[in-house]
Structure 1
Amino acid sequence: MLMSAATGLAVAGNYFAQPLLDLIGRELGVGSSLAALIVTAAQGGYALGLILLVPLGDLMERRRLAVSLYAATAVFLLVSAAAPNGTVLLAGTALTALTSVGAQVVVPFAATLADPAERGRVVGTVMTGLLLGLLLARTASGALSELGGWRTVYWVNAVLMALMAVLLRTFLPRLGGADRRLSYPGLLRSTVAMFRYEPLLRWRAGIGALSMASFSVLWTAMTFLLVRSPYGWSESSIGLFGLVGAAGALTAMVAGRLADRGHVQIVTGAGTVLLLAAWLAIAAGAHSLFSLLTGVIVLDLAHQAILNSTQNVLYALRPEARNRINSAFMTSFFLGGAMGSALTSLVWAHSGWTGVCVLGASLSTGTIVLWLLERLTANGSAAHQDDVPTPVASTANSRS
């Protein structure tokens, strides 16, 4: 439960700005396009941290790595809290996101400690915390902005992250890296090599990236929709939508239990179909609150099902390289999110809510196509796996 809370708190800092974009833009004197880049900076910084920092979990003592990243995140949150202009806020947001990948050190940490027969449930529990943090960050930021302005949430989260660093240092067991023979450059090369040697990782990275892009399209554009007619909501009211999305986060635990029972492919396939179906309701949400609520719940449910089922598939591939596989997948995943946010700001400016919904539906359709292609090539990929050599890291005898 501590690890679940830790992941949620770490990832929350990357999403505080979403319901506050209009408010931040007015106070710092920046336009809506630049305000939307705050979300892109968070996702881009997170993706960079995933590829540069998360693989260190296969090399370093993992508790020390996690605690160091949580402490650094607390410092960078203070930079955002004190930002005098949009440029400093963008820098603080990117640096906070870079080190908040400590959450993605904790998730494979939990998978490693878990019994293999219960790995799906354990990962589902920890990921539920992460996803609740992601979604409830919007609710918390909206409420705290009403009390003390948009900076308040950054001050509060900085204190909580510092406290979490202390708790993780106190209660987590020591867990060394899997292969200390690897150099850092060799570690990064080995992470990239995972795409070459693991076809399943390639398929799942594509599915995850498109799913996260679709997810980000909704949550980035929703603020711009809800502050305008016919809604005209305040920042705190917009933040309450995080409570709606939180219902979908519970899917992670259900998906994990289904994965433990061997139904992981069914969960993924159903998730891709529901992801597309959600956009039909979201499109009607321009003038119907009920349709918007329904679409948000279904989209979050589908997104979490895809993510959790994919993690259960990938964590079983190479236990000794779990952090590198997680790094490779999650980098693709959050790059997809950054792409979705960036495209949303452009599409909204030119085509409004209709264009946003077409974009989201197109990305969701891509997840269905990739999942079907993965299933069609599964037998050939399995046969190919038997003949694939083990990737080489820094020396000829070092396994990736």
Structure 2
Amino acid sequence: MHSDHVYPAPAATPRGLVALLACASGLSVANVYYAQPLLDQLAADFAISPGAVGGVITATQIGSVLALLLVVPLGDQINRRRLMLAQIGALIAALFCVGATHSPAILLLAMLAVGLLGTAMTQGLIAFAATSALPQERGRVVGTVQGAVVIGLLLSRLAAGLISDLAGWRWVYLGSALVMTVLGLILCSVLPTQRPSAAPMPYPRLVWSMFTLLKQDRVLQIRGMLALFIFAVLGIFWSALVFLLTRTPYEFSHTAIGTFGLVGVVGALAATRAGVWADKGLGQWTTGVSLGLLILAWFALWLTPYSMLWLVIGVVILDLGAQAIHVTNQSMIFSASPDSHSRIVGCYMLFYAVGSGLGALASTALYAAYGWTGVCVLGAGVSVIALGFWAVTLRYIPGTAEQPATCT
């Protein structure tokens, strides 16, 4: 494959390219989440109080939002291959900085950079995959890449726990920097050129055009709100689970808790099929069934104190339902013109970020007040609201991804 090859091409996307984009996406997104099981070690190493060390996560999330607003839209204006190679180079530098610094201030700045660049890489790769794919295979291609993102996110917690137990937390980031360096060399040698088809525009207008797209595209509005609900549900679950399992009677280690990410992979892999169904015009049917699964999952999770088997069942169902909706969402929103794919994915993921943040905040507050039962009631309640929202909005958008609707 020559580096001057230009996509989109009339042929189907090569499987090797899809596999590379999927692998790169999973590795990129993992960098944003490595810190979650390492907070106690970071607090000790940098003499940060337990109450304030959450700022490390906040820094990465701020970086993620800045990436969605300020960096991801550039994919519609700049050669995406060149943009991603520049981003991965900067990400490698930020990872080395995290692994080497002894200053709390530099740690926070480097974590912000990791959140920004890891998110920009991930969403840029998804937009690259969507633009490379033919319309009739777009759901399958996006579903494959998105499945890898979910797997990378889930396994990041386990990988960070294992590496930190074996070699210390710094090697989580130094090791990742080495892995990303190898990935960067591979991308440099095989990633095809993908020149933007959008008309050139000034940078401020490019960023503002994201909100214009949101105002005009009803599919993006509705599927974005569904994303907000489902990622609030996931934020509610994962944020409270740590508190439940680290305390009596479980008292699990961080590595043991991270292994529940392996359970979630089962659901995530099954959910990649949702993209194929969306290609066949079954996106709305998939969404309705998946929202029903979310509600069902919370009944299983509520029974966790009686048996850990219920937790395993609940995690599989929860991740299956949530990721099936996420894959369907992306298949449907990418039905818009390819010259705005980067801005569309950036806009959509803002809903994701808001939902995740609100879910985590509400979850920890409710767990402190009402325990695990309160968390399960909250999660089930948000899932029911999401189902109601989907039912009410069914008449506003068509069931197939090939017929985007716009607001007038």
TM-score, normalised to structure 1, is 0.90
The yes-or-no answer on 1:281 pairing with 2:319 is no
Alignment match of 1:220 (pick from 217, 235, 239): 239
Alignment match of 1:103 (pick from 117, 122, 126): 122
**1:72 alignment partner in structure 2:** 90
Alignment match of 1:311 (pick from 330, 345, 363): 330
Aligned length: 386
Distance 1:41 1:207, change over 3 A: farther
The yes-or-no answer on 1:149 pairing with 2:168 is yes
The yes-or-no answer on 1:34 pairing with 2:70 is no
**1:269 alignment partner in structure 2:** 288
Check the 8 A contact 1:43/1:335 in 2, yes or no. Answer: no
Aligned-partner Cα distance in 1 for 2:30–2:68 = 16
5+ long unaligned stretches in structure 1: 389-400
Check the 8 A contact 1:67/1:166 in 2, yes or no. Answer: no
Distance 1:161 1:144, change over 3 A: same
Aligned-partner Cα distance in 2 for 1:231–1:190 = 50
Aligned-partner Cα distance in 1 for 2:152–2:292 = 25
**1:91 alignment partner in structure 2:** 109
**1:187 alignment partner in structure 2:** 206
Equivalent positions of 1:383-398 (< 5 A) are 385=405, 388=408
Check the 8 A contact 2:29/2:153 in 1, yes or no. Answer: yes
Check the 8 A contact 2:216/2:406 in 1, yes or no. Answer: no
**1:132 alignment partner in structure 2:** 151
Name the SS of the counterpart of 1:189 in structure 2: helix
Distance 1:110 1:378, change over 3 A: closer
**1:162 alignment partner in structure 2:** 181
- Letter of the 1:80 partner, please give it: V
5+ long unaligned stretches in structure 2: 1-18
Deviation at 1:43, TM superposition (A): 3.0
Name the SS of the counterpart of 1:34 in structure 2: coil
**2:3 alignment partner in structure 1:** none
Distance 1:378 1:35, change over 3 A: same
Distance 1:203 1:238, change over 3 A: same
**1:392 alignment partner in structure 2:** none
Aligned-partner Cα distance in 2 for 1:152–1:68 = 24
Identity %: 36
CA deviation vs aligned residue, 1:233-264 (integer Å, no higher than 9, x gap): 11221121111111111133211111122111
**1:196 alignment partner in structure 2:** 215
CA deviation vs aligned residue, 1:314-362 (integer Å, no higher than 9, x gap): 0002222111111110121122112222333333333332332233223
Name the SS of the counterpart of 1:60 in structure 2: coil
The yes-or-no answer on 1:6 pairing with 2:24 is yes
- Letter of the 2:325 partner, please give it: I
The yes-or-no answer on 1:365 pairing with 2:384 is yes
Aligned-partner Cα distance in 1 for 2:375–2:406 = 43
TM-score, normalised to structure 2, is 0.88
Deviation at 1:139, TM superposition (A): 1.3
Deviates more, 1:212-221 or 1:293-302: 212-221
- After superposition, the CA RMSD in angstroms is 2.3
